[in-house]
Amino acid sequence: MHDKYKTKAQLITELNELRLQLTSCKSPDNKKLTHIKISRPIIKSPEYLSRFPNENPEPVFQTNKRCEIIYANKASECLLKSWVTSKSGLLSIDLQMKMINAFATNQAFLVEVLCGKKVFDIHCVPLVDFECMNFYAHNITERKRMDEALRENENKYRTLFEQSVDAILIIEHEKFIDCNPATLEMLGYSDKKELLNTHPSDLSPEIQADGRNSLEKANEMIVTAFKKGNHRFDWEHKRKNGEVIPVEVILSVIPFGGKKLLQVVWRDISVRKQVELELQRAKDFAEESNRAKSEFLAKMSHEIRTPMNGVLGMADLLLGTKLDAEQKEFTKMIYESGKFLLTVINDILDFSKIESGNLSLEYIDFNLYEVIKSVTDLFQKKAQEKKISFSCVTANEVSDKLIGDPVRLRQILVNLISNALKFTNEGGVSVKIEIEKETTVAQFLRFEVIDTGIGIKQRNITKLFQSFTQEDSSTTRKYGGTGLGLAISKNLCKLMGGEIGVESEVGKGSLFWFTLPLNKSQNSAVKTTNTTEINNLDYNDQQISIYSPVDESPLRILLAEDNLINQKVATKQLEKLGYSVDCVLNGKEALMKINSTQFDLVLMDMQMPEMDGLEATEAIRASETSGQRIPVIALTANAMKSDQEKCLAAGMDDYMSKPFTKEQLKRIIEKYIIKTEQFEF
């Protein structure tokens, strides 16, 4: 009977015989087996074994039906030493039983064997006709290591998945196929079966916060995630009870079971959204407060400057009349008090702009020496009145052609020099300008204002540059001032990239300094000055009148001003300068006047009834033909930079804020009258 037809009893009998053979520790030729030499075949190979080359890198060996190894290549040595029973030289009993079953069923089988640190898969193939079995081993150590690492990672992932406080879901084919407990808790479900096979849009409101349809947007986000590998965005989901919750969604493509799935992480951002909403409300409130504050300051500035123009203008006109000594003294006190009040108003406006971040700087070409001269001209008379010296020395290396904000530079110098003169009664005040550092494109200038005044106590120096602060209350009572000048100067220096500081000693005087980086100008249009020292000069003799209208027929000026006092002030100032003046109360009357009368220049207030100055100017420009352009200058109590920009945008040629002096009025008119006359033949 063929082996494959043996009964179970026969197989058991044969296995028992094999067990007896193993127990006797004898080989088939009755020789004791102490070890196996794998380097050569144990039994001479028949010809059909030539298909298993001895140099095969994978272990290959063969046994007979009695489980005796009859062939093994060199690669099998290590494997067989671990696998063969050490005393008998035969394969293990468990393997023998599998072999007997394989011969009985003529079915191959697979076993996994650990050989030291290596793992092998061995395919055992029975050859019934040849009464032998072939063994083909494959080293799967690396694969096992990877499988183990994968199982470990899967276990870790499953732990994280189950214990995460964030909702985690898995998407396949745009449907949820799994979710963790945190997802159920977030959405208010008790069984994950309620969520499986649903689309993300099924758990969302129909429309998202950005107005997009949830279904369309969800599909787009999924496609984007598969393209990029991951994707993050904000989303709104819906709880089982219908409540909408904002979440941050993180999509990540993950490999799983040979296919790509999409891991979805939801993070509840309700608190974050609430904070963002509150911050936005606070921001809106702050911006609205700033706007209201700016509007209030602009309105108050206008309301204060309008009567101030009348006070200062009338006082100035009164000083030009015949007054006795006492009358002149009183009028001068009115004028000086008005100027001081105007300084306070300007300081408060500047401080407010800086505090709200609305102060803008210019970066234009300017002549440094012209700025310095305009400042020293301003204080020369004051120094002479106090009988103290006043000088300004500029290093020869300092360029006169620079780029920056000349108005704000002048403001800082005016603040520091004004303070120095205020607190100095003996000795003098000097200004020094020198180069602290220079590059190919810029000069870092150091400005110093040195006085021999009362000095400052060391403990009070740190308070000097704080808002509304002076050295002490006695200083405020004796010398006056708001305490804003130095705070404004500090902020202006900071905005322009510089620094400011002070050195002082009580009874000996103070040295205020500031530094500014100013780019060098390459503009040839900027006038070059060779002056390097200004020291106790009398500038009154150098003032030259550019134009004197009294030598010719008086020029005709139209004044549009609704405030009768300011109209009176401006009219008298213009008449004293030799001009002929026509007055109107609003922009509508100004247009009618221009259509019927030839004027050389228009002075236009901004805020007037019926038609304001901006609308009137636009109408004037619209009606002018080619080659015709009458100069229009704004005279307004609106002192904000935005007001100046509005005037220029409407077509006005220049802007002058109230209150103004007769000299300022003269300079700005002559600027445009001269321009006009240059083209007349």
The dihedral through the CA atoms of 36, 38, 40, 44 has a sign that is positive
The dihedral through the CA atoms of 32, 34, 36, 41 has a sign that is negative
16 — pLDDT class (breaks 50, 70, 90): low
Whether 397 shows a pLDDT value over 80: the answer reads yes
pLDDT attached to residue 485? 81
Kindly report the number of other CB atoms within 10 A of residue 449's CB atom: 24
4 — pLDDT class (breaks 50, 70, 90): very low
- Residues above pLDDT 90, as percent of the chain: 35
Q: Which of the pair, 544 or 241, is modelled with greater confidence? A: 241
- Nearest 10 degrees: Cα torsion 212, 213, 218, 224: -40
Whether 98 shows a pLDDT value over 90: the answer reads no
Element (H or E) spanning 419, and its range? Answer: helix 406-422
What are the tens digits of pLDDT across the range 204-263?
999 999 999 999 999 999 999 999 999 999 999 999 999 999 999 999 998 877 789 999
Beta strand residue intervals within 76-226, DSSP E: 109-115, 118-127, 132-139, 167-172, 175-179
Point out the least confidently predicted range of 258-262, 398-402, 504-508, 677-681.
Answer: 677-681
524 — pLDDT class (breaks 50, 70, 90): low
The token duo for 249 is 């969604």
Most confident of 281-290, 303-312, 595-604: 595-604
pLDDT attached to residue 439? 92
Q: Which of the pair, 35 or 122, is modelled with greater confidence? A: 122
- Mean pLDDT for 103-112 is 88
The contacts of residue 307 (CB under 8 Å, 6+ apart) are 565
Contact of 248 with 266, CB cutoff 8 Å: yes
Whether 150 shows a pLDDT value over 60: the answer reads yes
Q: Which of the pair, 658 or 26, is modelled with greater confidence? A: 658
Point out the least confidently predicted range of 256-270, 330-344, 426-440, 653-667.
Answer: 330-344
Contact of 69 with 61, CB cutoff 8 Å: yes
Point out the least confidently predicted range of 165-179, 351-365, 434-448, 507-521.
Answer: 351-365
What are the tens digits of pLDDT across the range 173-220?
899 999 999 999 999 999 989 999 999 999 999 999 999 999 999 999
For residue 364, the cross-strand partners are 404
Count Cβ atoms within 10 A of the Cβ of residue 312 and give its class: 0-12 exposed, 13-18 middle, 19 or more buried.
buried
Mean pLDDT across the chain, nearest whole number?
Answer: 80
What amino acid occupies position 577?
Answer: L
Please tell me the distance from the alpha carbon of residue 394 to that of residue 506, in angstroms, as a whole number.
Answer: 27
pLDDT attached to residue 41? 36
Please tell me the distance from the alpha carbon of residue 87 to that of residue 644, in angstroms, as a whole number.
Answer: 109
The dihedral through the CA atoms of 637, 638, 644, 646 has a sign that is negative
pLDDT attached to residue 303? 77
Instruction: Compute CA distances 512 → 339, 350, 584, whole Å.
Output: 25, 21, 49
pLDDT attached to residue 589? 93
- Mean pLDDT for 455-481 is 65
pLDDT attached to residue 535? 35
pLDDT attached to residue 549? 41
